[in-house]
């Protein structure tokens, strides 16, 4: 009987871990209403035009850049941007990479979501990749002629940094984040933990029976 119950526990644990879905990072394609509502915009419009900055902050999150970024404005000092729904606005304040084709963005704390819009400087289409520290890699074909696109992620694991790789220089805008929150367990997760608890209780009973038998 003890052997049968032990086998049952092993099978139960195997089912639990096989059925438990792994959390996955989730790229976010467009800055829709849900994305905007679940994130906070770091407003850079107050930075004087042509100023070079190495970081920005809203008092909660500090966003550092591996190279100085120059603040410009669409349409004046930066020519074009995309239109909604592919962009939040067609006239954002932007941060230009100052000729650099790569950028590492470092966050002062881990966040649950992070995103920015990006447009190349030359008015042609280029493949741009954003690699998030949560394992998400977003690669998009982006046009430099009113073709900015969103590079954003939210899902498994905290995001502490983002690395941008582009064949050409670029500008970024609408930098947003969502702080990580402890969510309410989903029904599937609650069932999983219930099965684990049951398996632990069964294992405890086995140990007791073994001790008594000895």
- Domain-embedded: residue 88: yes
CATH of the domain at 46: 2.60.120
Domain assignment of residue 43, given as a range:
26-179
pTM above 0.85, yes or no: no
The tokens for 162 are 């983002």
- Domain-embedded: residue 121: yes
- Domain-embedded: residue 67: yes
| 96-113 pLDDT tens trace | 999 999 999 999 999 999
- Domain-embedded: residue 212: no
- Domain-embedded: residue 82: yes
Predicted confidence at residue 189, as pLDDT, reads: 42
Q: Number of folded domains in the chain?
A: 1
- Which residue ranges of the chain lie beneath pLDDT 50? 1-2, 4-23, 183-204, 206, 209-210
The tokens for 188 are 């599937």
Predicted confidence at residue 111, as pLDDT, reads: 97
Is there a contact between 145 and 168 (Cβ–Cβ < 8 Å)? no
Place of tokens 């989730």: 26
Predicted confidence at residue 22, as pLDDT, reads: 45
Predicted confidence at residue 65, as pLDDT, reads: 98
Convert 71-92 to b/e letters by CB count within 10 Å (16 or more is b): bbbbeeebebbbeeebbbeeeb
């Amino acid at each position: 009987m003890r052997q049968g119950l032990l086998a049952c526990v092993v099978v139960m644990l195997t089912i639990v871990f096989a059925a438990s879905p792994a959390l996955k990072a989730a790229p976010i394609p467009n800055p829709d209403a849900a994305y905007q509502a679940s994130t906070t915009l770091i407003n850079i419009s107050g930075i004087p035009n042509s100023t070079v900055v190495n970081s920005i902050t809203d008092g909660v999150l500090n966003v550092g850049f591996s190279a100085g970024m120059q603040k410009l404005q669409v349409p004046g000092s930066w020519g074009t941007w995309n239109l909604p729904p592919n962009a939040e606005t067609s006239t954002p304040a932007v941060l230009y990479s100052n000729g650099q084709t790569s950028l590492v963005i470092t966050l002062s704390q881990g966040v649950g979501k992070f995103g920015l819009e990006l447009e190349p400087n030359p008015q042609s289409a280029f493949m741009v990749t954003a690699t998030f520290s949560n394992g998400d890699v977003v690669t998009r074909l982006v046009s430099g002629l009113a073709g900015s696109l969103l590079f954003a992620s939210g899902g498994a694991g905290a995001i502490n940094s983002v690395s941008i790789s582009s064949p050409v220089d670029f500008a970024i805008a609408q930098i947003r984040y969502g702080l990580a929150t402890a969510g309410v367990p989903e029904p599937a997760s609650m069932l999983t933990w219930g099965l684990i608890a049951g398996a632990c209780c069964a294992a405890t009973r086995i140990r007791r029976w073994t001790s008594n038998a000895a």
